[in-house]
Amino acid sequence: MAVKICPETGVGEWFDRERATHPVPAPASQLSPLFPELIDESYKPITPVSKDGETVEELHQRAIECVTNLINELKNEPEIKTVLLVTHAATKIALGRALLGDPNAEIRTGTCSVDKYVLSSDDKSGAPGDWTQQMNGYADFLTKGEEMHWSFGMLLQSKL
Buried b (16+ CB within 10 A) or exposed e, 41-60: eeeebbbebeeebbebebbb
pLDDT tier at 52, thresholds 50, 70, 90: very high
* Superfamily name with CATH number, domain 9-158: Phosphoglycerate mutase-like (3.40.50.1240)
Question: In percent, how much of the chain has pLDDT > 90?
Answer: 76
Count of Cβ atoms closer than 10 Å to residue 108 Cβ: 20
Taking alpha carbons only, the member of 135, 122, 128 closest to residue 70 is: 128
For residue range 97-112, list pLDDT tens digits in order. Answer: 999 999 999 999 999 9
Cα separation, 113 vs 160, in Å, equals: 28
pTM of the predicted structure, to 2 decimals: 0.92
Averaged pLDDT for residues 34-53: 94
Burial class (CB in 10 A: 0-12, 13-18, 19+), 9: middle
Count of Cβ atoms closer than 10 Å to residue 21 Cβ: 6
SS3 118: strand
Q: Fill in the amino acid letter for 59.
A: L
